[in-house]
Amino acid sequence: MSIRLLITDDHAVVRKGIRTLLEDETDIEIVGEATDGEQAIELIAALHPDVLLLDITMPRMSGIDVTKAVTRQYPKVRILIFSMHHNPDYILKAVQNGAAGYLLKDTSEEEILRAVRSVAAGELYYPPSASSIIIKQFVSHSNGNHSDVEHPEAGAVRPGSIWQKITPREAQILTCLTQGMSNRLIAERFNISHNTVANQRASIIRKAGVSNSFELVRLALKEQTS
């Protein structure tokens, strides 16, 4: 089954460029284009996309506001921000409001394809520069603005911590997730399959009692520094 993609950007040249890039991919179907946030929400109701590729700065309704509304109204739609802004505030607000990924508009074609497929598969997708901003924010929030994080094996963790509930290999996977690594990169690091990583990530999420990878990473970093 192909990935149903809705493109939302107020610039026609950007929409055309994305369509040109993706329209020949057999596993991706572009179901529509929106020129602003309000139209995007209307089209989601009509077209039922799997992934919303979304600009941030648009007329009538910002991408952040769209993210907030779509996450609440259509939780199964995965949101991939596609922006010209490498702004920590935008990145953090996107994450906090439910975006599954954040790409800059100068991203390579290969990374755009990888990001669309990753978020459609239920993963988070943030390039290293965005991941570092997100993780620093988590750490700062967890330890009172001290940025040094010890890995769980470096010291004791509190009773009941997720780090005590998971296997040694799952702890390795979770450490990689807190470093912003994708399933693909984790699989390459440990020479295991992508499906094995996905299954282990799902197991950790169940043991943690959270709903998604974003909540898992936030919990894991909090418990590392508590």
pLDDT digits (tens, 9 = 90+) for 204-214: 988 998 877 77
> Which CATH class for the 131-225 domain?
mainly alpha
Among the four given CATH numbers 3.40.50.2300, 3.40.220.10, 3.40.109.10, 3.30.565.10, the one describing domain 3-126: 3.40.50.2300
Q: Which residues contact 91 (CB under 8 A, 6 or more apart)?
A: 102, 126, 130, 133, 134
For the whole model, what pTM was predicted? 0.66
What is the C-alpha to C-alpha distance for residues 113 and 116, in angstroms, rounded to an integer? 5
Average predicted confidence (pLDDT) for the chain: 82
Place of tokens 């922006």: 83
Domain ranges of the chain: 3-126, 131-225
Does the pLDDT at position 157 exceed 80?
A: no
